[in-house]
Amino acid sequence: MTHPFEIEQETTLPASPEQVWEATTTEPGVDSWFMGRNEVEPREGGVVAMGTGGHREESVITGYEPGKRFAIRTPTSDDGRFMAFAYLIKGRDGGSTVLRAVQSGLLGDDWQGECDALRRGRPFHLHTLREYLTHFPGRTGAPVFAVAPSDGRSAREVLAALTHGLSLPDPVALGARARAEPMDLPPPDGEVVWSDDERIEVRTADGIYTFLNFAGTALMFPHLFGPDTEGAEAACQHWLTGLLG
């Protein structure tokens, strides 16, 4: 049985409507703060695709009003489930922008758990968008994705391994300094800007690094703004695998 849901969140961003539109509806913009590598066919009826770790998800653009509204919808599955998402953009005095994000659709039998996970994840992603627009405006980030199984560790043990690998105290506090080494690229050396029981996010001079404990699996998806990102994905995968090895 399917269950309808809707999640809405509003935030004020330190950027113009044009900057917010660029960040949320274009391939370079979305790549700079959201998960995976993204493709956008910029028109109503066009296709949006996100690829992470060999997995590809597609949606169709159902609303395309540059600078104002962008909406997408996934295909309907055999059991009737689907997801719809919309960004509503409105400029404010002083050069800031109000962004309203609305996610809705039909979920399956475990709809409450799925809805709770979406409610936890959406504020984090909008926070990362804010970090990007505040600290890396006008720059394009290279998205990286690495994943390592827990080998039987509990979710708490995976988070503890990530915390230790980043040289952070437990519990992790906002503003704490994080550093990870060895790594075959400039090591993450920066400030914790998000911390909860699933995620740690670190902002450095040249990147936004997200470390995620998901159902006992460790994921790492940095957005790198430095001049040399070649080999970064292999380096991150090697570090993450070694951390849980």
Which pTM value belongs to this model? 0.91
Within 10 angstroms of residue 155's Cβ, the number of other Cβ atoms is: 16
Query: In the CATH hierarchy, which top-level class contains the domain 142-244?
Result: alpha beta
Domains of the chain, residue spans:
3-135, 142-244
The CA distance from 7 to 2, in Å, is: 16
Q: What is the pLDDT of residues 164-178, one digit of tens each?
A: 999 999 899 999 999
Comparing 3-135 with 142-244, is the CATH topology the same?
Answer: yes
Q: What is the pLDDT of residues 190-231, one digit of tens each?
A: 999 999 988 999 999 999 999 988 777 889 999 999 877 888
Q: What pLDDT, on a 0 to 100 scale, did the predictor assign at position 6? A: 86
The CA distance from 211 to 198, in Å, is: 8
What are the DSSP calls for 80-146, one per residue? S-EEEEEEEEEE-TTS-EEEEEEEEEEE-TTHHHHHHHHHHHHHHHHHHHHHHHHHSTT--PEE--E
Confidence class for position 149, pLDDT limits 50, 70, 90: confident
Q: What pLDDT, on a 0 to 100 scale, did the predictor assign at position 4? A: 87
How many residues does the structure list for the chain? 245
% residues pLDDT > 90 (the chain): 60
CATH number attached to the domain at 3-135: 3.30.530.20
- Sequence-distant (6+) residues with CB within 8 A of 221 are 35, 36, 52, 143, 144, 145, 146, 210, 212
